[in-house]
Structures are given as structure tokens and as C-alpha cells.
A and B are shown apart, each in its own frame.
Chain A
Amino acid sequence: MKKLFLVLLLADAAMLAYAPVLIVNAPYEATMGLVQKIFYFHVPSWMAMFTSAFVCGVASFFVLFTTRKTADRVGAAAAELVVVFGLIGLITGPLWARKAWGVWWQWDAKLTSALILWLIFVAYLLLRRYGGAGSEKLAAAVGLFGTANVPFVYWSVNVWRTMHPTTAVVPSLQPGMRGPFWFCALAFLGLYVVMLTLRVRLENRRAELETLYLAVED
């Protein structure tokens, strides 16, 4: 298991190191020019965030309806990563929008729902941090609620009128952009797995420490 993690870590580090070369050599988008290159990190960060929200949702389901301790640890780790990758998306988006739309932020369906999704997972973390005993069940309910929001955020661009491009952009990318994009998406998903593994390990070690403390007290 440790070997597999090391291989994944090295492979992903190599991919992330090579990604800028592909991004620089990717063709310029006709109307937006250079600023469109933010796309290669912006969209993969949302992909990692949605994946993490899904993982947190599944783990939260097990926390609510079973007594599995591992699920709670995975849920907490995934929620933290939702906030990290969401933060990247929420900062890189406005930097792109400033040039493309002329404004940093627009209170439209896509952007607002994405911000709300991010805030739900911030609430999850705050609940776990300051909620006291038994807060993991309540946090799991919040996590499940957050995961249920993901499809709405994803399809909001197709349902409501918004300045944000629709979901048809990625499937219709021209070949010169498609390669670098999917390379970056894969690198981000690899990075997500590495970070999740590390974070779950932290939760496992914390649980071991807690058991040891209880043993010392007894």
C-alpha cells in the first residue's frame, strides 16, 4: 500500500511539473487570448472538488446509517479537500472573469450556487471543530446535503441564464486544447487521491492516539 502511494505521489508530481509545458504550448482561445489559460487549472480544481464532495457524501451516508468509524474519518478528510479545491476554483474564477467579463464577480446562478456549496462544506468543518460530542452525525447530514447540491451547481449553467460558459465547453474542446486539459484534470485527480490518502492517515493516527490516551487513563 505504501509502495503504491509512493508511485502515485511520484507520478503525480511529474505530471504537475510537466503540466505548465503543455499549457504554454496549447493554442490561444480566439476571443479571450492568454487569460483563457486559467481554464487548465480552474476546471480541474472544480472536478477535484466535486469528486471530493461525492466521496464526502458517500462517507456521510455510512456515518448516518451504519457504525463504521472509517467512514467518519474519510468524510472529514474529503470535506476539508472540498474546501481547499473549492477555494482554488473560487479565486481563479474571478481572476479569469475580470478580464473576460470585465467584472470580478457576478451574482448569477452558477457562481452563487458554487459559493453556497463551498460554504456548506465550510459549515461542515466548523461543526466538526466546534460542535462538541456527537457533532459528527450532524456534520454528516450537512455533508449529505452539500453533496445533493453538486448536480444543481453543475447543471445550473444549462438551466438558468448565466455569464458562465455551459457544460458543453469541455466536450467540444478543439484537439490542441483537449490533450492539455485532460492531462491537467488527471493530474488534479491524482493530486486529490494523494492529499486524501494523507489526510485520512492523519485521521487514523489521531484515532489511534485517542485510543492510547483512553488506555493510559484506564
Chain B
Amino acid sequence: MTRTYRKVVWSAGATLGVMALLLALGVAQPVFAAQPPASTAAQEGFVPVKDVPAQEQLPAAPLVMAAYAVAWVAVFGYIWSVWSRLGRVERDLAEVSRRVDKGARR
């Protein structure tokens, strides 16, 4: 084998090697990008609520306040609604009774 022939084979091998490496990196890049980030302690197992990072915690107080507010608004709203309907019916009753009395007197 001549020296020139060896040089050509070596160059071709090196070029193919570099191309294969570049190709492998190019294909692997989206695969690496699709990998999920390193898992946190909370993802690996049970973590008590108090140990969860502050940004992941949901405050309970507004939910409790909202629940009690809804209950009170619904109850008072309903009582007010019944009271006003009752008031309207009582007024109509008084008006019709007055008309009946007038008619009876005639």
C-alpha cells in the first residue's frame, strides 16, 4: 500500500467519523431537549404540605373565607327574597280586602 493511498483512507475515515459525530449530535439534540428537567424532591416521593415550596402552596384562608361568605350570602339572600315576596303578597292582600269591603258596603 502506498503512502498516498493510506493518507486518503485515513482522511476519508476521519471525515466520516466527524460527520457521524455531527449527525449523532444533531439527532440527539431534540431528544435531549424533550427530556424532563431533573426531578425535585416533591416528584420523587411524598413530601408533607408544609415542606412544599411556597410558590406551589395554595393558601387555605381565602378558600375558607369564601366558603363561609357563600353560605351566609345564600342564607341571607334567600331570607330577604322570601321576606320581600311576603311583603308584596301582604300589600296585595290588604288592597284586595279593601276592595272587597268597599264592594260589600255598596
A, B co-complexed: yes
Residues of chain A having any CB pair with chain B under 8 Å? 20, 31, 33-35, 37-38, 41-42, 45, 84, 87-88, 91-92, 95-96, 98-99, 191, 195, 198-199, 201-202, 205-206, 208-209, 212-213, 215-216
Do the beta carbons of B79 and A198 come within 8 Å of each other? Answer: yes
* A202 and B67 form a contact (CB under 8 A): no
Task: Verify A88–B100 contact, CB threshold 8 A.
Answer: no
- Of A42, A91, A199, A212, the residue contacting B82 (CB under 8 A) is A199
Q: How far is the CA of A31 from the CA of B47 in the complex (A)?
A: 12
- Contact of B86 with A202 in the complex, beta carbons under 8 Å: yes
- Taken together as a complex, chains A and B put the C-alpha atoms of A159 and B72 apart, in Å, by 33
Q: Which 10 A-B pairs have the closest CB atoms?
A: A35-B60, A34-B60, A92-B67, A38-B67, A95-B67, A212-B96, A205-B89, A95-B63, A91-B70, A41-B71
Min CB distance A94 to B, Å, is 9
- The CB with the most chain B CB atoms within 10 A, among A41, A191, A202, is that of A202
A selection of 18 A-B contacts at a CB cut-off of 8 Å is: A31-B49, A34-B61, A35-B60, A37-B64, A41-B67, A84-B75, A88-B71, A88-B74, A88-B75, A91-B70, A95-B67, A95-B70, A191-B75, A199-B82, A202-B85, A202-B89, A205-B89, A209-B89
In angstroms, how far is the closest chain A Cβ from the Cβ of B69? 10
Residues 16-59 (chain B) with a chain A CB within 8 angstroms: 49, 58
Distance, CA A20 to CA B63, complexed state (A): 16
Chain A, Cβ-Cβ closest to B85:
A202
Q: Which chain B positions have C-beta within 8 A of A99? A: 58, 60, 63
- Within the complex, the shortest CB–CB distance from B59 to chain A, in Å, comes to 8
Q: Is the CB of A216 within 8 A of B61?
A: no
Contact A35–B64 (Cβ < 8 Å): yes
A205 and B103 form a contact (CB under 8 A) = no
Given contacts A198-B79, A202-B85, A206-B89, contact A42 B99 (CB under 8 A): no
Alpha-carbon gap, A191 to B74, bound state (A): 12
Which residues from A are CB-within-8-Å of B67?
A: 38, 41-42, 91-92, 95-96
Residues of B contacting A202 in the complex (Cβ-Cβ under 8 angstroms): 82, 85-86, 89
A33 to chain B, nearest CB (A): 6
B74 contact set on A, CB distance < 8 A: 84, 87-88, 91
